Amino acid sequence: MSTESEDVFDFAIIGGGILGVSTAWQFKKRYPKSRITLIEKEPSLACHQTGHNSGVIHAGVYYQPGSFKSRFCLEGNRATRNFCQTQHLPFRVPGKLVVATDDAEVLRLNHLFQNCQRNGLEVERLGARELSALEPNIQGVGAIRVFDSGIADFVAITGRLAELLQAMGGQIRLGQRVVEVSDCLFGEHWVGKHLVLCDGKKRFSRIQAKFVVVCGGLAADRLVKMDGAKLDNLNDGVGVTSFRVVPFRGEYFILSDRCCELVNHLIYPVPNPKLPFLGVHITPHVDGSVSIGPNAVVGWKREGYGRFNVSLRDAWSLLSFPGAWRLLSAYPRPALDEWMSSWFKDVFLRRVRRYCPSLTLSDLARPHVGVRAQAVFSNGRIVNDFLFARTASSLHVCNAPSPAATAAIPIGQYLVEEAEKMLRGVIV
């Protein structure tokens, strides 16, 4: 084992997805004279959830008013669009249609419309004729039109944030995995963090930081446990091991070139409130392509994008966690349906053809896969909101599924504000 000299920083941000990079950028803006390092275990930024999502700038349709998701999504929609505009990055705001295909879905659509209004969104109810006029290829008995839903390139946004961070003097360390976190003393009164890092060649380095923020994505639960952090605002009183990340593979298909003008809006089905995901939707992208997806299949490897990818460590983490079994036993039929949609294209396509009957199997041109990190409590309940944990000198983002990419800028601002309260003037 070779060891490098120990560097000292004011802030260390762990995680090089859009959330970690946004957070590091905002810490550097708030504390311009501070020493900041961003640590990412992969050889480049945005390798996992940021680089494998649908690129949607969410408006806040589905989230409970007053929740973190509602608050940060609404702020993030505006902030993301403004950032793209000022930085000359590609984005569009075509709007979203949430389409009902039968009377039962119309009832759920009514509740969704009321939720949109409570969240202050600009929305419009559409009948079947109005829907057909806007989207000739979409079939339904009614819809909600959400005007502020958009599309962007979140990898490009992450890259620009990283450029801005480095231009201000922030450091980015790629190919460095955090393998140990412990406390260390700064002066007489402040206990910061000591981090041990390991690169791909098993070379170890050590750094110290007065304050650490962890945006660990698919490794969030392991980093929380490594640091001994405690979850914020839990009413059930459970401790640090009370949640675990369950990976869900989300499979998409890029559609054939004939489908480039298939839709004018983002097209979503009405979600079933009893199920944890939004359903297979149609998304036009900023590069002109159109995709459908994702489904949601439990994965056996947290960073495994192939159907046969298995990690013994990740599989055991899943199988040994009571919350995973309780979750799957609560949704046996949907879990089977998702599995079937993964193995059989016609099953996958059938879900989209309910509202877009013109699509055929030959239109499913290129597969694309993402893995979403979903925190689940030990009682089997999905963590529906963003979730945070902390020690005296660290903050952890424990659960940041959709709409976290949309909300990355306000989440970063929130983390800076929380850190400022905790630091009590230690860093100026």
Using the predicted structure, report yes or no on whether residue 81 has a pLDDT greater than 80.
Answer: yes
Neighbours of 59 (CB within 10 A): 27
Q: Which CATH superfamily is domain 93-150+243-377 in?
A: D-Amino Acid Oxidase, subunit A, domain 2 (3.30.9.10)
Q: Give the model's confidence band at 3: pLDDT under 50 very low, under 70 low, under 90 confident, else very high.
A: very low
Contact 351, 358 (CB under 8 A): no
Q: How far is CA 110 from the centre of its chain?
A: 27
Fold agreement between 7-50+156-237+385-423 and 93-150+243-377: no
pLDDT in tens, 387-426: 999 999 999 999 999 999 999 999 999 999 999 999 987 8
Burial of 272 (0-12, 13-18, 19+ CB in 10 A): middle
Which pLDDT belongs to residue 233? 66
pLDDT in tens, 385-397: 999 999 999 999 9
Q: Which two tokens stand for residue 115?
A: 């939720």
Q: How far is CA 246 from CA 214, 234, 328, 329, 405, in A?
A: 18, 19, 11, 15, 19
Using the predicted structure, report yes or no on whether residue 239 has a pLDDT greater than 70.
Answer: no
Residue spans of the domains in the chain: they are 7-50+156-237+385-423, 93-150+243-377
**What are the backbone angles phi and psi of residue 64, rounded to the nearest 5°?**
-65, 130
Q: Which two tokens stand for residue 10?
A: 């004011």
Contact 37, 8 (CB under 8 A): no
Architecture of domain 7-50+156-237+385-423 in this structure: 3-Layer(bba) Sandwich (3.50)
pLDDT in tens, 186-220: 988 899 999 999 998 889 999 999 999 999 999 99
* First-last CA distance in the chain: 37
